[in-house]
């Protein structure tokens, strides 16, 4: 886990899209030292822990390279080895609207016996802030084999959208060039 409170480098302040970037998954972490102002602090995972890689509009993927070995099997990967290429899933049916700063795409899972998940497809809508440093809104809709759906919303410090302890967002990894 890494801190998400670094200053954004000046060269990223005038970005016009999320492409050529890696975004790291973040959650609020319980602040065990002091809760005078906020009982949480922002904490982000490293690249390879469900990080989003935006190469261009048609080449976007999730990277689970550094996740536990059972994650690859759980999500229905054909190859559960430590080969990094075996631990990525490319988005399908991708689109990007620069006016609304919205990316849409789907992750489709192959059917496998003994998979722990009954997910068939994940549909994403990601809405970026104005400088493309953070995914601040949108959702992940999990489509299950039995026809049910489970929706998880992106949220970063928007109290109107819910409890801070349930926030989930992504930030650009500015250490990657």
pLDDT tens-digit readout, 94-104: 999 999 999 99
DSSP letters, 35-55, are -SS-SEEEEEPPTTSSEEEEE
pLDDT tens-digit readout, 68-105: 655 555 555 555 555 555 678 899 999 999 999 999 99
Question: In the numeric block, which tokens belong to residue 131?
Answer: 């400088």
In this predicted structure, what is the pLDDT of residue 126?
A: 95
CA angle centred on 153, ends 147 and 158, rounded to 5°: 160
pLDDT at 3 over 50: no
CB 119 within 8 A of CB 143: yes
The domain locations on the chain are 2-7+19-172
Largest CA distance in the chain: 50
Does this model's pTM top 0.95? My answer is: no
| Candidate from 27-31, 126-130, 151-155, 159-163 with smallest mean pLDDT | 159-163
The stretches of 47-138 forming alpha helices (DSSP H) are: 69-74
Which H or E element spans position 119? strand 119-128
- CA 31 to chain CA mean position, Å: 23
């Amino acid at each position: 886990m890494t801190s998400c409170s670094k200053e954004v480098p000046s060269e990223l302040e005038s970005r016009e899209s999320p492409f050529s970037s890696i975004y790291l998954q973040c959650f609020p972490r319980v602040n065990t030292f002091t809760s005078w102002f906020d009982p949480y602090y922002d904490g982000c995972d490293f690249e390879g822990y469900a990080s989003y890689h935006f190469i261009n509009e048609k080449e976007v993927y999730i990277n689970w390279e550094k996740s536990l070995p059972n994650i690859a099997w759980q999500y229905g990967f054909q190859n559960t080895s430590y080969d990094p290429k075996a631990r990525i899933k490319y988005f399908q049916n991708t689109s990007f609207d620069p006016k609304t700063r919205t990316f849409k795409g789907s992750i489709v899972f192959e059917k496998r016996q003994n998979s722990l998940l009954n997910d068939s497809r994940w549909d994403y809508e990601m809405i970026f802030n104005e400088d493309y440093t953070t995914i601040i809104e949108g959702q992940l809709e999990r489509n299950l084999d039995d026809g049910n759906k489970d929706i998880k919303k992106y949220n970063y410090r928007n109290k109107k959208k819910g409890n801070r302890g349930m926030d989930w967002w992504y930030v650009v990894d500015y250490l990657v060039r």
